[in-house]
Structure 1
Amino acid sequence: MAHITLVLPFALPLPEFAPDMVRALQAPALAALLSRTSSARRAPKADTVHALPHETWLARELGLADDGRTPFAVAAMRGLNLDPGAGRWHIVTPAHIQIARSHLMMADTRQVSLDDADGRALFDAASTLCEEIGHELRYGDAHTWFLRADDWTGFDTASPDTVANMDLTDFMPKGAQAQAYRRLQNEVQMAWHAHPVNAAREAKRLPVVNAFWLWGASGGASVQAQQPVKNMASYAVPGWLAALGQQRLPSLDRLDDVLAQGGLLVAGNLGEAALAADWHGWLQGMQHLEDALFAPLLAALKDGRVRELRLVLSSREGLADYTTTAMAQRKFWRRPTLDSLT
């Protein structure tokens, strides 16, 4: 029988909206999974401002870090069939920065959709600038590149989801070595300003790609140990996260494959709505998970195909961790409720 860990980024609505969301959500299977448990705990909000709770949880769970950092670069490279060698690599995410009334703000990178042709064209322009200052840039997919900068240490940069729709002043790296990164970012921004890809995007009223966002650095002694996780599957997650595992699900129709092998499943379809505070879209995303994921998992628990299910739910503010089993689901005296989401 399988043991499954289900990670649901942004499945916890923000506290000020949670009561209304719980009243509106019709999810009896999820209510049973969260109410009839063998263990339940809430993790306190981490002090780090460089990653979201589910990102630090994944880094720790996958053995990549235990200090609140998210050194995903090398593991993501290997998942995208790139050999990192012995270098120190950073994930590069092409993004859109806009000027708000009093500050700069980076949009959710899910809203900056790039096909492979446009991604490679922008990559080529940036790669030339990187090579001129002695740094190699590697292409993973349209949204996931990697920069080698062995001497860029001592400063932390935040994940794209951490900074999405936030004041960038709080997240820009500081220090002598960070200045080299900021200079490179400015040069790339200037090269992209009049790039044909952005001209075409502007004509279509799409967000232009004007940001060269660096994060997730890893390398050194950890390089050889970081391999894609065999029993990790993902659905609707950013490319860097999908690259950490060996199975990418285009839909949840193949859930039986996950149930058969067990392991870790990350379902990220709630991210865009949650980051935009689109709670109608969030409710629709949760309803899809109820029908395609929570109800089948509850049935699998009851008929013995799944022995233990662990649910890890998160928001910007924190993380909740629940474990349920077939035996726990027999606790009929516990009324199924979604109050755990509040």
Structure 2
Amino acid sequence: MTQITLALPFALPPSELAPDLHRALELPALAALLSRTAAESRETIDTGARALPYEAWLARSLGLHDGAPTTHGASPVEQSAPLAAAVLAGFGTAPAEGHWFIVHPVHVQMARTHLTLADQRQLRLDETESRALYESARPYFEELGKPLVYGDANTWFMRADDWHGLRTASPDCVTGMNLSDWMPEGEHAIAARKLQNEIQMLWYEHPVNEARQARGLPPVNSFWLWGGATSGQPSTGPAVIAGQPWLRAICPPALRDVSLDTLLAQGGTHPMAVLGQLIEPAIAGEWASWLDHMRQLEQQWFAPLLAALHSGRVSRITLVLSHRHTSASYTTSKLAQRKFWRKPSLTKLST
């Protein structure tokens, strides 16, 4: 019988907003899936964790265990996401031996008292601009013995074998936060910061940025490093429905943006998927958009899943919901759905 696991990053809204958001939602299928369960668990992640719960879950699902937590109570260092080699392979480049990092060209902005990382999804960096910035930066990386590999406009890769152990944070962990709290840590943190400073100076008056600013776009004034991982062959990634390019890269091409029917047909006896539609609106605080996406998920995934469970097409469903500092797992079955005394409710969406 088919079992299915769906990860829904940011399906858990902030606690202060949850009551109002719940009142605006009518999701009977999701309510049934969350309320009539066979098993459930909930974990609070340390506020200093350097990977979001779904990123750490993804690393574990891929069999990438370098530093990923395997028990409750993980420390900030352990809550990590060693995804670089898997993402690089997803871009069609088999990683050579060594230790790799994901590199994103980014915009760092000044808040009132500190620097923050802007959401990379809002950067609107095209291939021509990115290639020009990449080619200008590449000699600086290579001079340090750190080869730079191009993935796409928003995603590059750096090999740094001697930087194994450098503790970095994922960009979605850092977006909007005080950057001084999230810079790389470890033996080679000073070297990483020095390289970042050199690239910032290089790009300060780069023609690409002058042209962007003339068009009212933010300059690409720095890079962000994360996801350090030693090369290896990960297990096949889950399906990905919506999400940033690095996330989609870990998914087999045939399982990108598929429907539930396609996933059940191609995903074997235990298909998994990351439903990434809620990530961007939640990080941006665009809760009207978040509500719209939740309603779409109800129609396209939750209601059909509940019907598949009742018909016997699916035997068990596990939903892995998360927010920045909370992860919750709910498993239901056809038998569990017979617990009629449990009134369907969305209260479990509260963080």
- TM range, smaller chain: over 0.9
2:261 to 256, 262, 275: 256
Deviations 1:128-185 (A, max 9, x none): 2212222100111221111011111343110000001001110112455211111111
Q: Do structure 1's residue 325 and structure 2's residue 336 form an aligned pair?
A: no
Q: Which residue of 2 aligns with 1:278?
A: 286
Letter of the 1:52 counterpart? L
- Is the 1:75–1:227 contact (alpha carbons within 8 Å) kept by the matching residues of 2? no
Give the count of matched residue pairs.
Answer: 336
- Is the 1:9–1:271 contact (alpha carbons within 8 Å) kept by the matching residues of 2? yes
Q: Which residue of 2 aligns with 1:14?
A: 14
Alignment of 1:289-328 (within 5 A): 289-328=297-336
Quote the Cα distance in structure 1 between the aligned partners of 2:33 and 2:314.
Answer: 13
Deviations 1:74-130 (A, max 9, x none): 111111121221111111011111000000000122112323332222222221221
- Is the 1:13–1:315 contact (alpha carbons within 8 Å) kept by the matching residues of 2? yes
Moved more, 171-180 or 132-141: 171-180
Alignment of 1:227-242 (within 5 A): 227-229=235-237, 232-242=238-248
- Is the 2:10–2:323 contact (alpha carbons within 8 Å) kept by the matching residues of 1? yes
Letter of the 2:261 counterpart? D
Quote the Cα distance in structure 1 between the aligned partners of 2:165 and 2:333.
Answer: 44
Moved more, 264-273 or 53-62: 53-62
Structure 1 residue 226, shift from structure 2 partner: 2.4
Q: Which residue of 1 aligns with 2:45?
A: 45
Quote the Cα distance in structure 2 between the aligned partners of 1:72 and 1:250.
Answer: 18
Any unmatched runs of 5+ in structure 2? Answer: 70-78
TM-score, normalising length from structure 1?
Answer: 0.92
Moved more, 130-139 or 190-199: 190-199
- Is the 1:234–1:247 contact (alpha carbons within 8 Å) kept by the matching residues of 2? no
Moved more, 141-150 or 312-321: 141-150
Structure 1 residue 21, shift from structure 2 partner: 0.9
Q: Secondary structure at the match of 2:232?
A: helix
Quote the Cα distance in structure 2 between the aligned partners of 1:151 and 1:141.
Answer: 25
TM-score, normalising length from structure 2?
Answer: 0.90
Structural RMSD (CA): 1.8
Structure 1 residue 228, shift from structure 2 partner: 4.0
Moved more, 113-122 or 259-268: 113-122
Q: Which residue of 2 aligns with 1:215?
A: 226
Letter of the 1:95 counterpart? V
Give aligned-pair identity as a percent: 52
- Is the 2:166–2:228 contact (alpha carbons within 8 Å) kept by the matching residues of 1? no
Moved more, 294-303 or 93-102: 294-303
Quote the Cα distance in structure 2 between the aligned partners of 1:17 and 1:319.
Answer: 17
Q: Secondary structure at the match of 2:252?
A: strand
Detail structure 1 runs of 4+ shifted over 6 Å in the superposition. Answer: none
1:266 to 262, 271, 274: 274
